[in-house]
Amino acid sequence: MTAPHDLPEWVLWQQRPFPDANLLLLTGRESALVDSGFVGHALETAEWAEAHAPNLSLVVNTHWHADHVGGNGLLQSRGVGIAASTHDADSVQRRDPGCCVAEYLDQPVAAYTVDQPLDDGQLLRLGAADWEVVATPGHTPGHLTLWQPDERLLVVGDTLSDYDVGWVNLALDGPDVARTALQSLERLVDLDPRVLLTAHGPMPQDTGAALANAHRRARRLVDDPDGAVWYGARRVFAYALMIRGGIPTDQVESYLAARAWLQDAAKLLGRGVEDLTEELVSGMLDAGAIEVRDRRLRAAAPHAAVDPQTLRIPFPRHW
């Protein structure tokens, strides 16, 4: 897909559907890939990156969610280094059971290690330019963005997209996490970027409008904590349906009841798990976000199919 902005020739960007993050390759003497997609498409990610940059030397993760780190293990086995925020690196190196929130969200991630921890303000040579690491906690505690001041390019991860902002996890990250996410977004606004290199969806045509819209949405999550919980639950459930090709309708209730994220959402909302499950499913059906087809509940948004065999990998507690 042709990007809507005039990008330097050393920046290759390609939109791709969920369950993956967009492809972003920074080419040069030592080319770098930003994020590596979902594990179910790791081979496709690696082949695309290596075809465009045979000298690929590094993957930089904006954060550790499954749709951003799924190709890490495969690329690392081929000699590519992995860089991530110090927060994420420390947890991954210790093999913490909760790292990548993979088990909590029921989103498989192949085992990897972090070769280069990154701190706020650190300068990195990625491809043909120097980039600054900007810590942007909120969507996850270790979320980072990348800033190229000469071209005013901003790699935003899941901080925002052209149509949305990243969901926040009040259960794991505390009641102030939405405000933290808002403050991170305001830090990015102050950079006055020319181009937003987004991890999902199209690259914004109007950078200023996208930032203003994201600020309104982020403020809404601060002002409406219950709404933030619902927002996260809808996003996580839709993603579960995408990576599994749907869930049989007679198994949906039991699947949701067993999920830690759904149990935590119920506690935050003061609801029973069964009650919350019913409202979540019915509300998403009414909104057209999910649909019943072939006796399976499926995500309605466009997404790429995943081979079920690729999901059969251990969670971090067994790495």
Residue from 156, 266, 276 nearest 218 by CA: 156
The Cα–Cα gap between 61 and 64 comes to: 7
Please, are residues 140 and 63 in contact by the beta-carbon 8 Å criterion? yes
Q: Checking DSSP bridges between strand 81-85 and strand 296-299, what pairing results, if any?
A: unpaired
pLDDT in tens for each of the 319 residues of the chain? Answer: 344 578 999 999 999 999 999 999 999 998 999 999 999 999 999 999 999 999 999 999 999 999 999 999 999 999 999 999 999 999 999 999 999 999 999 999 999 999 999 999 999 999 999 999 999 999 999 999 999 999 999 999 999 999 899 999 999 999 999 999 999 999 999 999 999 999 999 999 999 999 999 999 999 999 999 999 999 999 999 999 999 999 999 999 999 999 999 999 999 999 999 999 999 999 999 999 999 999 999 999 999 999 999 999 999 999 9
Q: Give the pTM.
A: 0.97
Each as own residue / partner, the long-range contacts of residues 216-221 (CB below 8 Å, 24 or more positions apart, any chain) are: 217/164, 217/165, 218/160, 218/165, 218/178, 218/181, 218/182, 218/185, 219/182, 221/165, 221/168, 221/178, 221/181, 221/182
Measured CA to CA in angstroms, residue 162 lies from 26, 119, 167 at distances of: 21, 27, 14
Measured CA to CA in angstroms, residue 255 lies from 116, 241, 274, 310 at distances of: 37, 11, 11, 19
